[in-house]
Every structure is written in C-alpha cells, then in structure tokens.
Amino acid sequence: MSSLFLPPPGFLFASLLFNTELMNQDEALKLWESKWGEADVFSPTHNPMIEYYSKEMGDKESLKRLLVVSKKLYEREVLVEAKLWAVAEEDNRKTKGRHINIDPGLMTLENIILGTGKIYGHRPYLGQGVYADLNLLYISGSYSPLEWTYPDYKEIEVISFFNHTRIELHETLKLQKLDSYNTRR
C-alpha cells in the first residue's frame, strides 16, 4: 500500500498571444502579473500556431507571443483557477474580435501541463470544465515533447527556456525545502 503525500508545487506560467494593435506588451504582462505575481518573460522568435490564431485575432503581423512564468510557487491544484481566470479575462476583453489568448499551465520538475477546456483521451479531467493537457515530460535532462504536444511547445527555443526556468524552479524548491515527494504539508 502506498502512502499519500503532496507533490512539490510548481511555477504557474502562460502563453500570452495578443494583438499589438489592441494591447501592448506592458498591458499584457500587467494583466498576468496583477493576478499571479512578478514573472520572467520570454518572447519566442517563431510561432507555428500564428496562422491558426490570426483567423480569429487579426493580421499575423500584429500578433505577439510572450511566455510568462510567475516567480512564486503554486500548488498544482491552482491550474483550474488559472484556466477559469484566463477564460474570464479573454471574455472581458472581447469587443470586435479577440484581443488576447491566455493559455495557462503549470511547470513542475517532471512535466509541463497546460489547462484546457477541450476534452481528449490523453487529458484527465481536473474539475469545473478544465482538463490537464500534458505537453512536455522531463526526460534525460530536458523537457521532451509527446506525439500530441502543440507545435509551439515543440520549438527548441521554447524547450530551452523551460529547461533554464526548471533550474530556477529546482533552486526555489530546495531553498524552501520542498523538492521532495516525501514531504507532508
């Protein structure tokens, strides 16, 4: 029989895709940080999903993507709250089209999980209409994509960013003595 222990917390992150004609980078970042705290920011040079989103959000030349990772640790259950918040914030900003797409996720030492409202066989249900979408596994020293991983999360520069940020996550967990799965909290 196994004992039940809480896993270490992780870093909450999001992919923010926004139309620069309707919102600037500072506004997008402030939206995230006002709810989830100070964040590290990375702007990938390539987004293979740009064509898909441009149909709904406007000219692809006006779309910018940021990956933001909050520096605060969050318990894993917060992913449901983050997805519900993201949907509400997106809806609040809709006037004539979509201003911003917010895809929250949770980075842990062992994986990268996105919160989604879309049901699929590999997505366990978390509650309140939110599913866990496992996109990257940490294997042999790097996050690695799976067959269903979104193309923008397979990009080498994105994986490198997450690998670098994982070092910060590990250090933060060690400092707070939370890097073990055998800790009751």
pLDDT in tens, 98-139: 789 999 999 999 999 999 999 999 999 999 999 999 999 999
In a domain, residue 3? The reply is no
In a domain, residue 87? The reply is yes
The reported pTM is 0.91
Report the distance separating Cα 101 and Cα 86, nearest Å: 8
Report the distance separating Cα 116 and Cα 126, nearest Å: 10
Using the structure block, give the residue that is written with the tokens 């193309």: 151
In a domain, residue 92? The reply is yes
In a domain, residue 135? The reply is yes
Where residue 185 falls among pLDDT bands split at 50, 70, 90?
very low
- Domain region containing 99: 10-175
Mean pLDDT of 134-162: 97
Please say if the pLDDT value at position 154 is more than 70: yes
Residue 144 has a pLDDT of: 98
For helices 25-36 and 78-92, give the axis angle rounded to 10 degrees: 140
In a domain, residue 79? The reply is yes
In a domain, residue 38? The reply is yes
Please say if the pLDDT value at position 182 is more than 70: no
In a domain, residue 182? The reply is no
In a domain, residue 183? The reply is no
**pLDDT per residue as tens digits for the range 7-66:** 999 999 999 999 999 899 999 999 999 999 999 999 988 887 788 778 887 888 889 999
Counted domains in the chain: 1
CA dihedral 22, 28, 32, 38 (to 10 degrees): -160
In the chain, DSSP assigns E strands to: 10-19, 39-42, 63-74, 100-107, 111-116, 125-127, 130-139, 142-145
